[in-house]
Amino acid sequence: MLNKKVEKKLVEQIEKEGYSSSLYLAMASWAENNGLEGTAQWMYAQSDEERMHMLKIVKYVNERGGQAVISSFDRPPSEFKNVKNMFDQVFEHEQKVTASINDIVEVCLNEKDFTTHNWLQWFVNEQIEEEASVSAIIDKLNLLGDHNLYLFDRDIMGLRGQQPASME
């Protein structure tokens, strides 16, 4: 049976993952409307991955005897200053998600829910990868400055890989 304090934190994380998916979808739409096809594809894939994270938590909560609650999500922004600014926002957002995952880990340890703690390690590792990936993109954008986005946009899928991370 899932500890109630842990369940509450996981349900909160479901909302955060859903918002993340919506945020990256909004970013994909903006990129697509601004002629940035590669960036749009990267963001679409990222949106799908965040939705998979949300579903992974939903299934875990329900399998452990809790009740996954799906709430509405805040509306994400629809306009972005430029590609660099957008990826800076992605990095800040991923840092918030990392902090949230770490908060759940802390609750698991305090509540001695070692099963959920062990299960959460996949998310801990995923966040390390997420932050490193976005940081590498920002490094490349810093090298480019405000110009030469054509090659960056063409090559961005290679920076992320073609497939979203698996749920296992």
**How many residues are given for the chain?**
168
What kind of architecture, by CATH, is found in domain 4-72+81-160? Up-down Bundle (1.20)
Question: Helix 4-33 vs helix 37-63: angle between axes, to the nearest 10 degrees?
Answer: 160
- According to DSSP, residue 163 is labeled S
pLDDT at 36: 94
pLDDT range class, residue 165, cuts 50, 70, 90: very low
- The full set of domain ranges for the chain reads 4-72+81-160
Question: Is 32 within any annotated ligand binding site?
Answer: no
Q: Where are the alpha helices (DSSP H) in 34-113?
A: 37-63, 83-110
Question: Is 131 within any annotated ligand binding site?
Answer: no
How many angstroms separate the CA atoms of 32 and 166, rounded?
Answer: 25
Are the CB atoms for 27 and 93 separated by under 8 Å? no
Are the CB atoms for 89 and 138 separated by under 8 Å? no
The residue with tokens 């601004």 is 34
pLDDT above 90 coverage of the chain, percent: 80
Question: Is 130 within any annotated ligand binding site?
Answer: no
pLDDT at 157: 67
- What is the amino acid identity at position 83? V
Q: Is the pLDDT of residue 156 over 50?
A: yes
pLDDT at 116: 98
What pTM was estimated for this model as a whole?
0.89
Q: Is the pLDDT of residue 162 over 70?
A: no
* Tens-digit pLDDT profile for residues 50-69: 999 999 999 999 999 999 99
Residue 126 is inside which H or E element, if any? helix 114-144
Question: Is 127 within any annotated ligand binding site?
Answer: yes
Question: Is 50 within any annotated ligand binding site?
Answer: yes
* Tens-digit pLDDT profile for residues 97-154: 999 999 999 999 999 999 999 999 999 999 999 999 999 999 989 988 767 777 788 7
Are the CB atoms for 13 and 104 separated by under 8 Å? yes
The residue with tokens 């759940």 is 104
* 30 SS3 class: helix
